[in-house]
Amino acid sequence: MSPSRPADRALRAVADSVAESRTRRPEDARDPAIPVAATAVLLRDSAGSLEVLMIERPDRGSFAGAWVFPGGKLEAGDRDAPDEPEAETARRAALRETQEETGLALEADDLVTLSCWDPPPGIALRIRTWFFLARIARGTLALSPDEAVAAEWMRPAEALARHGRGELTLYPPTWVTLHGLTVHADAGSAVDAARLVGVQRFETVARRGGEGPLLLWEGDDEYDPDAAAAASGSRHRLEIGALPWRYQRSG
């Protein structure tokens, strides 16, 4: 893959993080010192298939040129009370950021909590991010030029295929979220599944494998190198050494 291809940006960024990452500690997933963000995965049914709204970030900043879901960091005004659960503050931030970036309006009850992503500990840029699903959005799509240069409703499998060909940039949480949506025929199925399964937590460990960088999550035999792991063959990882990326989850 040519280094100039858009998809290579995320690969280089995550590959660099492998060298910076350290062993995960129990307190890392709720470290109050790192920023928190929220993102809304907007779904719709179109021509008999599920589509998700993706926006392309400007060619600057932490996610320069990447295709993402609308979202951003929590602000002081998003919190109703000092002891409010982080997920509730993030829900409010997801509503605000979606409207600011896309012009689309959501209500708090429209959002179903999907997942919480915590990056590898020790890396320079860590942002803990809450992901919410929504299949109802009101208004007309109108992008904020400071936040997005393009937007498309995409089928999840199409977005992954374009990434696999090096045509667009996705970061791992976006990629895995899209991968999970590929099994759903419509928005209702995706939202119902999220309610049934509950919040998925991705407390990430970065390693270097034989074919390049790996991102591991709990449930993978190699997730905790200090644990006396049995050789069960259990996998929960994303292999990002080359395109197309490969996600494995078993056990």
What global pTM score does this model have? 0.92
| Six token digits for residue 200 | 């998925």
Q: Model confidence at 2, in pLDDT bands (50, 70, 90)?
A: very low
Q: Considering the chain, what percentage of its residues have pLDDT values greater than 90?
A: 65
- The DSSP letter of residue 80 is S
Q: What pLDDT does 220 receive?
A: 92
Q: What pLDDT does 1 receive?
A: 39
Alpha-carbon distances of 134 from 94, 101, 113, 181, 198, rounded to whole Å: 10, 16, 9, 13, 15
| Six token digits for residue 206 | 């970065």
Q: Which of 97, 125, 103, 120 is nearest to 40 (CA)?
A: 97
- Asked whether the bond before 244 is cis by omega within 30 degrees of 0, the reply is yes
- Residues 106-111 have a mean pLDDT of 95
Which residues face 38 on adjacent strands?
A: 72, 130
Range of lowest pLDDT (63-77, 172-186, 231-245): 231-245
The 10s digit of each residue's pLDDT in 135-163 is: 988 999 999 999 999 999 999 999 999 99
- The DSSP letter of residue 66 is B
